Structure formats: structure tokens, C-alpha cells
Amino acid sequence: MAVGSLLVLVACNHQGKRYQKASDLFEEGVRLREQHLSEDAADRFLQALDGLRRCETNDKTLSLDGKLKDNLGAMYYKHGLFADAFQMHQQAVGRFKQISDSAGLMTALRNCGRVSCSLEQFTQAKQYYDSAFQIATLLADTAMLNDLYLEIGRDYYLPTGNYPKAIDFVAQAKDGGLQGNDLDIANMTLGVLCYYTDDYAMAKEYLSEALRSDKAGLKMSVYQTLYAIAYNEGQYRQAMEYQDLFAENMMLADKEHGGETLQRLKAEYDLKVQKSEMEILQRTRSLRLYLIIALIVIALLVVMLIVRKKVADSRIAMEQFRGQMERDQNRIHALVSDMENLIRTNEELRRNHQTLSQKELLMTSQILMRNKVYATAQSLSEQVTAESLNFALSDDEWADFIGLTDLVFDGFSQRLLTLYPKLGKWDVRICCLSKNGFSNQVISILLDTQTDSYYRRKTRIKQMKMNLGEDNRSFDEIVNAV
């Protein structure tokens, strides 16, 4: 009995040490994350999760597991891995529900709403935000309520085009006592919303307040909106000044985020795999069809040779079978006509339904792969490594890429600028990359910006440059329709 008691004590001691080590790794990961050392922070969080798997399940381990997964989800979200982020936040929601941790559940639900907005799943996002809002109201958590007002207005109502509701929510967040960067974000968002509703005077007031921020990324958005207002008001000299300030702050913003990269990024390629499988299936069907046609033609030629041989061997046989030959020839002509119709029908089906047309295959294999922009994007699509991230693209290479895209897609950039003349040089580059089918993650890397910033940039292009604020289509659908 004494030995049994000793074993129990030893087991409990090991469990306690494992939990303490996981807890220490979590705290270290939080500190590293605050220092923007994303890779090291992710490594600590994953080590902590691995250690928790060997711990007995109880309220403490479930709570730590939820915090770890919610933090990992936030890191994945920041680096554009939205599917992985959503999975982590959902698991965190489950853990906090198990232990009835209202505060943790509230934060995880809010994070689920944020990721759903980035995935443009706005109906689902609203449900998550509403649940988080109810808990914050019950807990009388004023800080969380203010954050939710700001986030729902900015990330849900603004992208869905409900500008009055967005203004109301962001204004409530501001009136609730936001401070620091959150206050600057609220002023910037209200300025953008007033611009969308053509209230330029009020927009300028909010944007001027937002310029107090020391964040280059936020200032960049402010100057972009001020440029649009000045341009619409015909103040072109001032618009050019705002454009220069926008470019200056964009470079500063890139420097601010230059060190925040994850070396072990996780990427989902399900869509790419599915697309490849569809291409292989389509090619296989086409080859089968051509093989059947070839066999029919060969069979007909053999019949014709046999008939001609019989004709050469005996005129009598020819006379006897002349009538039959004429009927056979009519059948042959009918079959040939049917084959021609079948070939034309197949060509039309391949043009309408084949995922990659013959022109796109030629582009990929013979033209665009010679261009450095396309080759770099293709390399990033296949694998993100330190080597593939070490690239530099000149204006001439970008111009060559746009020219080749025009060649493949029948003057795409000219048609694009005819429809949307406000688009700038980088806007056209983004549209050409999207037209070539590159993912949001690849494009954001080529632009040397974060994926969530790239999502906001697409929204700004759609709303401000294309004037399609009420269009429910996504940015990629609009580009592909050109």
C-alpha cells in the first residue's frame, strides 16, 4: 500500500511538472509575440500544446489549451493563414465552453468573427460577433464592448456596404472612451465612411484627427482617402501631395512589418489540387474522344481499301456491289459529317468548360514563365522558403508582365483601365496578378505587405477606384469578369 501511494505521488508530481512547463512555454510565447518574434512564439506555443497532450484533462489544462489555440489563431490570422486561424479559434471556443470560461469564450468568439470577415463569410461572422457582444454585455466589459463596436463597424458593416450602421457602431466605440491606436483607427474609419457617403467636410475632420497617429500604416490609409477627396473636388495639386505622402508612409509601413515573418507558414492547397485533378480529367476525356474518332477514321479507311481492292480485282464484282458501295459511301459521308460536328462540339465545350484553355497552357509553358514576376509568383505558390522570398522586381519586369498578360488575355489591362480609369500603376499590377490566378497570400508577399492589409487594399480599390461599393461580387470575380 505504501508503494502504491508513492507511485501515485510520483505520477502527480510528473503531471504537475508537465503542466508547469507548458504554462511557462505559453508565457514565454506571449512575450515573444509582443516582441514580434512570430516564429519563436509559434514554436513555444506548439511545444506547450505537445506537452499538454501528456497531461491529465482538467479545468486547468483545458483553460491553457484554449489560450494557446486562441493565441496561435491570432498569429495565423495576422499572417494571412485564415483557414488555420479559424480552426484554432473554433477549438478554443470548445475548450472555453467546457470549463464555462465566459471571458475566454467571449474573446475566442470575437476572433472567430474577425477571421470569418476576412474569409468574406459575413453571415457567419455576424453570428460570432453577436454571441461575443451578448457575453460582453452580461459581463459589463466596457473595453470589450468598445472593441466590438469598432470591429463590427469596420470589418462587418463597412465591407458589406451598410455605411450608416458602420458609422453608428464606430461612433459608439469612439464615444465609449477609446484610447491610443484604437482611437486613431476609429477616426480613420469614420473618415473613410464619411467619404463613402459623400460627406467630405466631416471626412476631413475625422481624417485630420487620425493623422495624430504614429503608425505609418494607418497614416497611409488616411492619405489615400484624402487623395481621393481632393481628386473628386478637383484639387489636383493637393491630391498629388497626398499621393506623395501616401507613398512615403507606405514605405515606412513596409519597414514596420519587415521583421514580422513566419518561416514555417502553413498553406492550404486543396483548391489547387482539385483544379489539377479537373484539368487531368478534362485532358483524359479529350484524348479518349480523339482516340475514338481516330479509330473510326481508320476503320473507314480500311473498309474503303477493301472495297477498292475488290473493284480492281473484278469489274463484275464492282458492278454487283456498285449500289452497295454508293450506300456505303453515303454512310461514310454521314459519319464524317457527324465526326466533324462532334469535333466542333468538343472544341466548343473545351472553350466553355475547360479550366485552363489552350491559350493559358501556351502562356504558362512558353511565355509568362520567361517573366521574372510570373516565375517568382509561381515559385511562391509552390513553396514559401527563405530562398523564394529573396527577390527583387524592377519596373521593367512589371511592365513586361503586364504586357504578356495583355497578350494572353486579349488586352486585359487596356480593357481594365477603360472600365476603371482611376486605377493606379500598382492597382493594375494587383489586377493582373489576380487575373493570372495567384492566391491572396502570394500577391501579398509580392507586394511586401501583410495579407490582411492586402484584403483591405482590395476593398479600397473596389470601393474607391472602381466605384463598385454596392456590387456584391468579390474583387476576384470583378477582375475575372473584365
Structure confidence at residue 348 (pLDDT):
62
Number of Cβ within a 10 Å radius of residue 220 = 21
Round to whole Å and give the CA distance between 64 and 101.
11
Looking at the predicted structure, is the pLDDT value of residue 104 above 70? yes
- Please state, in angstroms and rounded to a whole number, the distance separating the CA atoms of residues 41 and 26: 9
pLDDT of 470? 86
Tell me how crowded residue 336 is: count the other CB atoms within 10 A of its CB.
Answer: 13
| pLDDT: which is higher, 196 or 331 | 196
The residue among 207, 162, 114, 208 whose CA lies nearest residue 456 is 114
Question: What's the CA gap between 147 and 151, in Å, rounded?
Answer: 6
Residue keyed to cell 470601393: 463
Amino acid in the structure at residue 318: M
Is 33's pLDDT higher than 50?
A: yes
- Between 4 and 261, where is the model more confident? 4
Confidence of residue 3 (pLDDT cuts 50, 70, 90): very low
Dihedral sign of CA atoms 197, 202, 208, 213 in order: negative
- Contact by Cβ (8 Å): 321, 304: no
pLDDT, position 271 = 36
**Cα distance between residue 3 and residue 11, in whole Å:** 12
> In b/e form, how buried is each residue of 55-88, taking b as 16+ CB within 10 angstroms?
beeeeebbbbbbbbbbbbbbbbbbbbbbebbbbb
3-state helix, strand and coil shares in percent for the chain, rounded to the nearest 5 = 80, 0, 20
The yes-or-no verdict on residue 327 having pLDDT over 80 is no
Q: Is the pLDDT of residue 23 over 90?
A: yes
Residues in the chain: 482
What are the grid coordinates assigned to 289, written together? 474522344
Res 20: pLDDT: 93
Tell me, what's the pLDDT at 277?
44
The pLDDT assigned to 235 comes to 93
pLDDT at 441 over 80: yes
Give the H/E segment covering residue 75.
helix 59-78
Name the band, by pLDDT with cuts 50, 70 and 90, for residue 14: confident
Distance between CA atoms of 94 and 125, rounded to whole angstroms?
Answer: 17
Cβ pair 44, 29 in contact under 8 A = yes
Residue 283 pLDDT level (bands cut at 50, 70, 90): low
User: What pLDDT, on a 0 to 100 scale, did the predictor assign at position 1?
Assistant: 52
**What backbone phi and psi angles, to 5 degrees, belong to 396?**
-65, -40
Cα–Cα distance, 35 to 46 (Å, whole number): 18
pLDDT score at 12: 55
pLDDT in tens, 331-349: 657 655 655 764 575 466 4
- Residue 353's pLDDT is 42
Q: Find the range with the poorest average confidence among 20-24, 31-35, 144-148, 331-335.
A: 331-335
Q: Where is average pLDDT lowest: 157-166, 270-279, 280-289, 384-393?
A: 270-279
- Per cent of the chain over pLDDT 70 is 82
If we measure between CA atoms, which residue out of 177, 206, 175 comes closest to residue 190?
206
Average pLDDT over residues 448-471: 89
Which pLDDT belongs to residue 8?
43
Which run of H or E residues covers position 161?
none
Grid cell, residue 480, equals 475575372
187 and 154 Cβ atoms separated by less than 8 Å: no
> At residue 205, does pLDDT exceed 90?
yes
Mean pLDDT of the chain: 83
CA distance 137 to 246: 39
| Sign of the torsion angle spanned by Cα atoms 440, 442, 447, 450 | positive
What's the confidence (pLDDT) of residue 273? 32
* pLDDT tens track for 174-193: 998 888 889 999 999 999 99
Q: Cell numbers at residue 452, please?
A: 490582411
pLDDT value at residue 355:
45
Residue 288 has pLDDT above 90, yes or no: no
Whether residue 255 has pLDDT greater than 70: no
Q: Are 52 and 64 in contact (CB under 8 A)?
A: yes
Residue 126: per-residue pLDDT: 93
% the chain with pLDDT above 90: 53
Task: Give the residue among 5, 112, 365 at the shortest CA–CA distance from 374.
Answer: 365
